[in-house]
Amino acid sequence: MPYLASTNKDRAVMLAAVGRSSVDEFFASLPNHGHMQTSTIPEPVGEFELVAAMANLAATNRVVLRDRSFLGAGAYRRFVPAIARYVASRPEFYAPYALSHSEVHQGTLQALYEYQSLLGVLTGMQCVNASLYDGASACAEAVLLAKRVTGRADAIVSGALHPEVQEVIRTYAYGQGLQVRQVPWSPATGAMSAEEIARQLDPRVGAVVVQYPNVFGVIEDLLPLAEQVHAAGALLVVYADLVALALLKSPGDSGADIVVGEAQSLGLTVSCGGPSLGFFATRMDYLDEMPGVIVEACQDGEGRRGFAVRDYGARDRSLLRERAVSNVGTTSTLPAITTAAYLAALGPRGFRRVAELSFHRTHYLAERLSALAGCRVRFSAPFLGEVTLELPCRAAWFADGLRRRGFLAGLPLGGWYSGLDNCLLLGASECTAREALDHFAEACLAQLAEGRTSRGTAEVAGLGSVSL
């Protein structure tokens, strides 16, 4: 019980002061007077034993070195500058309660204002909120915002939007009676089908959601889509990757109305998918329709600049209750501050280099791997930091084989897309130098060769005579 402050003597002093003989008196109205037994919770341990036990438990997970890891698909293991860790590890940032008392939380509030500003630059949008839980729920909130401002209850989502994001949109839509229509992607290019979206755009549609670059790594063409969507009176929601936005035209410049996504890859460890950081950006018209808090520059009576949560009274759930735009309260302040510190540490050239290394190395990797017999880049549209590779075998078998060889080869797409059983989604990054890519390509070659031996004949069928 290392974190309790009172001794038995202290307890006796306090009990005497309140005129009670036992603490049980406070629990008298509980069933059985507050005497219950737990059966599964262990007894207390001290820090020494605790750390040893947790280290042992951590060791039962398998950590693959970053330069042998090509798996992303929405969660990324990127280089984290020491400054980002320094900021995240300071209790002055991780321990404060919340933001409602601005005079004693200026550090956090200013850091959040800076975060909003930095993400405004990347997304090309005028306003950004101070964070949401994760990219998927941020995207669901975007669909709900579109319903509120357009009064239209249907949403169109591209089939090439990350399936877990689609699933969260559907969960949130269920409560609101929203219809979510999924439109197919082009089997040739891997991009969303603009024709199909145009066909579906009717006066019931309030939001169109696409991913940029999409789940297959393909760069969608947003500009013509935005024109179509706006002509139909709907809002364009873009689920964007922030590293890609270091190189790509911002969604704001392409006509997006709302830009959301997951920012974990900017300075947060992957940590099995959480804590995460959902960002939410939009045009000034919808500033006060955004869920969550927004930090605004202010001044005090002496003319000093400060920062405060915007119009806390009017946006606050405690006052608006069922009329509040969202139920969110606790979101992701610390990750947001960490991401801002990451961008500050890398600066414009460093952050751009991260994106360039991902882009050029992923293309090199794609070229190396598509030179292997039976392998090709699956889709014809341009891609950026991830690519969909088609293999001459089941991708799940291939990835498992490479796992045994010490690699995280990528994500087999068959679990999400029934026609893509032979496809693997993978990407290179600033952590995978050319040598690491060559080494990986050799391992892929060996794995395919194994598929042609007796053990794997069922896996790489019909390729027996082809030389790799």
Partner 1 sequence: MTEPHLFELSHVGRCRAELPDVDVPLAEIPAALTRPDLRLPDVSEVEVVRHYTRLARLNISNVNSLQSSGSCTVKYNPIVNEEVAGLPGFAEVHPYQSTEDLQGVLRVLHDLGNWLSDLTGLPAVTLQPSAGAQAQLAGLLMVRRYFEHRGDAAQRDTVLVTTTAHGSNPASAAMAGYHVVTIPQGRDGTLDLTALRAALSRRVAVFMMTNPNTHGVFEDRAVDVADLVHREKAMLFLDGANLNAIVGKVRVADLGVDLAQLNLHKTFSTPHGGNGPGAGALLVRSDLEPYLPTPVVSQREDGMYTLDRVRPLSIGRVRSFYGQFGILLRAYTYIRAQGASGLRQQAEDAVLHANYLFRRLRDVYPSVYERDCMHEFLVTAKHLKTYGVTARDIGRRLMDYGYHPPNVPPRLVEEGLLIEPTETESVESLDAFADALVAIAREAETNPDLVRSAPHTTPVRRLMPTRPNGVPDVAARLAP
Q: List binders of partner 1 among 38-67 (CB under 8 A).
A: 38-47, 50-51, 53-55, 57-64, 66
Tokens representing 217 are 């790594």
Q: For residues 326 and 370, which CB has a smaller minimum distance to partner 1 in the complex?
A: 326
Give the separation between CA 273 and CA 34, rounded to whole angstroms: 38
Query: Pattern of binders to partner 1 over 203-222, x per CB under 8 A?
Result: ----------------x-x-
Regarding 370 and contact with partner 1 (CB under 8 A), the answer is no
Window 14 to 43, contacts with partner 1 (CB under 8 A): 14-15, 17-18, 20, 23, 25-27, 29-32, 34-43
> What is the size of the binding site for partner 1 (CB under 8 A)?
198
> Residue 260: left (phi > 0), alpha (psi -120 to 50), or beta?
beta
Residues facing residue 132 across a β-bridge: 278
Shortest spacing between CB 459 and partner 1, in angstroms: 18
Nearest residue (CB) to partner 1, 202 versus 367: 367
Considering only 349, 419, 454, 455, the residue that binds partner 1 (CB under 8 A) is 349
Of the pair 296, 374, the CB lying nearest partner 1 is at: 296
State which of positions 393-452 bind partner 1 (CB under 8 A): 400, 403, 408, 411, 430, 433-434, 437
Choice from 359, 379, 398, 407 touching partner 1 (CB under 8 A): 359
Backbone angles phi, psi at 125, to 5 degrees: -110, 160
Q: Which of 235, 266, 328, 448 binds partner 1 (CB under 8 A)?
A: 328
Q: Which two tokens stand for residue 124?
A: 């090309």
Which residue, 383, 381, 370, is CA-closest to 186? Answer: 381
Q: Write out the binding residues for partner 1, residues 86-115 only, by CB under 8 A.
A: 86-87, 89-99, 101-108, 110-111, 113-114
Can you tell me the distance from the alpha carbon of 396 to that of 90, in angstroms, rounded to the nearest whole number?
A: 41
Among 68, 136, 150, 427, binds partner 1 (CB under 8 A): 136
CB 188 within 8 A of CB 379: yes
Residues 73, 411: contact at Cβ < 8 Å? yes
Query: Which burial class, exposed, middle or buried, applies to 129 when counting CB atoms under 10 A from its CB (0-12, 13-18, 19+)?
Result: buried
If one asks whether residue 116 binds partner 1 (CB under 8 A), the answer comes out as yes
6 lies in the site for partner 1, by CB under 8 A = yes
Q: Which is nearer to partner 1, 213 or 374 (CB)?
A: 213
H or E segment and range at residue 337: helix 333-370
- Of 168, 180, 226, 372, the one binding partner 1 by CB under 8 A: 168
Among 155, 237, 340, 424, binds partner 1 (CB under 8 A): 340
**Footprint of partner 1 on 276-315 (CB under 8 A):** 276, 284, 287, 293-302, 304-308, 310
Helical spans, DSSP H, in 311-332: 312-315, 317-320
CA-nearest of 67, 69, 85, 431 to 267 is 85
Place of tokens 């600049």: 305
Helix (H/G/I), strand (E/B), else coil: 185: strand
Retrieve residue 12's tokens: 């006796």
